[in-house]
Structure 1
């Protein structure tokens, strides 16, 4: 039945998958079947059944929770099978992962107010902790709730919630401090952020996120060598930490080490192929006059076709190569999406003058004059266009 249910999920037939997983649950259900059933209910938007299934997940027993004392005693006994103990730990880790993943998934949707959804699940997890006090699941979800405030731009609530963890155990305090350091960094309160960054590192010197946070504060101070040290330390702990890789690329770029920066950004691209990383590769390629510059910017335009800054960069590239028709195309698109870029407006005005299309040139120079009314040259350019097209009366009036 499990394989049948999995097949229905792959086909997107969630109702049929539910029937299969419910049949398993009626018999000898387990955490995996319950988790898959909850996912199906999530896909179908059935909130009450999500709650019921989550509650069912919490009723499953895991040996690691009840037999913790036996395991600790066993560690002192050389006759205890190490592989068995490791198996028990793996099963417990998997069980807690399923519970936490399910909670994070459904918390924002099971109630009309997402906060009420989190509160409902936190309460259920607190009841569960009465028989498994070492799981810390309720506290984990409380921290997730604090971070979810960020999606609603509620920085104050997120910060206040995380500060409450300062009174809890060392591990949770360290995790809260890591998140608080990041929050204060975003808000520009670097002094408070660095203080929390130090707290998280004191608790765990091998916390990759905390090391990245510390590096960020040195980066803001323009102490790029120290920033590099912390980013490299983060990579030594977590080789695929994308924040550390990206920030190492930025640091090398600031230091003028363009080849090293390119290496880091391309390493990052192999992990997360985001348009931010592609932009950095394109920008550095332009700085070193690489023949691949146009190719990278073309890739970028394919991903963010309405970004006026990227379109303007493409226009600039073609203008430097002497391809005015392509430059005009990209500059005009850039202007369509953002009509106050003076470089774009100036180039377009000059392009129309060059091609003796003075009516169009006047439109762009008048637009420039509206944006910079104190700048005399734009009115002079308008007057010049009137003179070139033979409207001497209007040109004289503007010159005067």
Structure 2
């Protein structure tokens, strides 16, 4: 620093002396010495201007780098080197010590500062680009999560949402480490957290979803995050915590400004539904009423009708129903000109337009709401449902939805059929003959179906209505199916098959026609075609129980037990409570000899339908066969309760007690059976056997009763055999009553009797008593449960073996 300062002072002093000399010369001669200057001092200017150095110094011309080649002074070499370095570094040359101060200049400081700024900007640009790349990966994961959730693949959506959350936190950490917090993307952070909460909710991880929503709501950096309290309320609603749900709904409602009416109405609708779930119908009614007053739509109006129905207030129901009908439906079809309606191409284009599809969806929602409200309130707003439907019909006809009156009348006929008022429903359907073609065809088809179900003499009338429906609409597939059903019931299978084929040609998706065609093929014995029809139907109606049972029945008839069991098992997995399918499976397993599976299927069938006598008998026989007679008693007892006049079940029950060793109970049951059926010989045989085994004095009485019963039975059998022989003898006899003539017709019945008696007496044989075979009473009996298993003879005498040692081997003797 000292050297630099001394150089600067010296150079400054030198400049001052030269200025004094110049001033003296100018004072002496104004124009003298104008060109007198030392050219060596002007080398800086020469170098800056690119001029050639003066030749008086004996220097060579400079090269392309501005440096002189040859004999140069130390000053020239330093200047040349300085110029070269300055050209390369874009810096000014180092000045001479005698002319200018040595050291760094302000220009060099500016260059260094600009380079430092450029380096920092380059570094910041590189960090920002890396952050943007990381954020783009987070965005891609978010898109994948949302698409997976839309496809209902919630596991994949949750995994991607979690991965997006981890990557987003990595971006935030990177920004904090590199001091780039001011450019943090808060929208991305909010989206990641919100999507994660949504995927938790879709995966039924409600606690995690609540925690995530709480993180979003409590963060003040997210604007309008308080509205997410609606989602928190929905989670509590799903948990059936309705008080908490209403609390969060109201907190979210406070966050929504009054100008956003649609959002506020949706939140109020949620509050009303929560009140309905709690049973607080009055508050729900007031809430829905406020929603309809603010902005009426069909959902809120339907909720108002439902709340009024829950309160059971007729006036409120009628008022809410009228408010529902007062809601207009935006439909531009009525405002089209005749020219637009005749333009077929325009109509086809507009019908496939997305806006047109949206309008159809809205119209179907409105029609569904009106029809649902009508079905709900019509039975309670009047003395009966018919009067209620009449009031609803009149109200609809006076509203903007008058086109729904026809459909409502059809619904009215259906409700009458449910109530069993068939004739009144038929009268309502007959009114539609004066309507347009399609409505009249549908009404005639319904009449055809009603008469078809009645069957018998009503089939002719059903055929008439089917023809009437087809005359109005030749391609009515339902009418063709009904006509085929009539032909099937009358045995005309070919005609039925033709009708079903025509129905399929008119409407390829008519599953009723395909199902009935399979039945026709099966009735005709065309098993392959029947299987083809039912397999086609199985591909259309996947996992339909009736189709599976038909396929299983066909394979069962073909004795393909494995395929039949598989199909019946599929049907049983769809409807495990159907006892008939279980019976089919049990029968196949029993035929295959698999008693365990058969027992399980019979047991399940008995649990779902305990009144099937065949199942009860099989279960009782199974327990008897497996020697669990005490369990068989329960089944036979239930059978005897269901059929009290059938002695078989009571005898089986008593026999089960006897096999189980409960003789006293068996004796008591046999006595009750004998009192109810005193002439039953099997019961008397069992009584004789038990009383004899127990040594009871009643045995003699039962023996006498058994002998009398045996005699009575023998006499009855002899009388029946004699009567049958007499019938055969009279049929083969040549004697017959003469045909009376017109002149000698008997005057009375006595004359006829006397005439026939005289004819019979002519050929009569002498009377004699025939010797009948009166054998002794047979006391043997047959157990209705079959012969019992013989007990082992443990007390029998054993045969004595010879204890001689004659045949004993000597090798066996001890040494």
Alpha-carbon separation, structure 1, partners of 2:564 and 2:429: 44
1:150 maps to which of 417, 423, 434: 417
1:280 paired residue number: 550
- What is the CA-CA distance between 1:243 and the residue it aligns to? 1.8
With over 3 angstroms needed to count, the CA separation of the structure-2 counterparts of 1:174 and 1:136, relative to structure 1, is farther
Alpha-carbon separation, structure 2, partners of 1:245 and 1:363: 46
With over 3 angstroms needed to count, the CA separation of the structure-2 counterparts of 1:211 and 1:66, relative to structure 1, is same
The 8 Å contact of residues 441 and 469 in structure 2, kept in 1 or not, is answered as yes
1:251 paired residue number: 520
1:209 paired residue number: 478
2:466 paired residue number: 197
- What is the CA-CA distance between 1:294 and the residue it aligns to? 2.1
1:261 paired residue number: 530
1:349 and 2:620 aligned: yes
2:686 paired residue number: 397
3-state SS, counterpart of residue 292 of structure 1: helix
CA deviation string 1:216-240 (max 9, x = no partner): 1111112222212212211222222
The range that moved more, 153-162 or 388-397, is: 388-397
- What is the CA-CA distance between 1:162 and the residue it aligns to? 0.5
Considering only aligned residues, what root-mean-square deviation do their CA atoms show, in Å?
Answer: 4.3
With over 3 angstroms needed to count, the CA separation of the structure-2 counterparts of 1:201 and 1:95, relative to structure 1, is farther
Unaligned runs of 5+ in 1: none
With over 3 angstroms needed to count, the CA separation of the structure-2 counterparts of 1:219 and 1:95, relative to structure 1, is same
CA deviation string 1:72-114 (max 9, x = no partner): 5x449x9x88745886987886676454333322211145255
2:429 maps to which of 150, 156, 162: 162
2:373 paired residue number: 106
Q: Which has the higher contact order (CA 8 A, sep 6+)?
A: 1
The 8 Å contact of residues 64 and 89 in structure 1, kept in 2 or not, is answered as no
**May I ask how many residue pairs the two structures share in their alignment?**
382
1:185 maps to which of 445, 448, 452: 452
The 8 Å contact of residues 432 and 439 in structure 2, kept in 1 or not, is answered as yes
With over 3 angstroms needed to count, the CA separation of the structure-2 counterparts of 1:284 and 1:40, relative to structure 1, is farther
1:19 and 2:265 aligned: yes
TM-score using structure 2 length: 0.40
With over 3 angstroms needed to count, the CA separation of the structure-2 counterparts of 1:384 and 1:126, relative to structure 1, is closer
2:443 paired residue number: 176
Alpha-carbon separation, structure 2, partners of 1:165 and 1:81: 29
Unaligned runs of 5+ in 2: 1-226, 239-244, 250-262, 270-289, 310-316, 671-682, 688-780, 783-815
With over 3 angstroms needed to count, the CA separation of the structure-2 counterparts of 1:362 and 1:126, relative to structure 1, is closer
Structure with the bigger percentage of helix: 1
- What is the CA-CA distance between 1:164 and the residue it aligns to? 1.6
1:359 and 2:630 aligned: yes
Alpha-carbon separation, structure 2, partners of 1:259 and 1:168: 45
1:313 and 2:584 aligned: yes
Alpha-carbon separation, structure 1, partners of 2:350 and 2:623: 79
* Structure with larger Rg: 2
With over 3 angstroms needed to count, the CA separation of the structure-2 counterparts of 1:290 and 1:226, relative to structure 1, is farther
2:488 paired residue number: 219
Alpha-carbon separation, structure 2, partners of 1:43 and 1:280: 42
Alpha-carbon separation, structure 2, partners of 1:277 and 1:81: 41
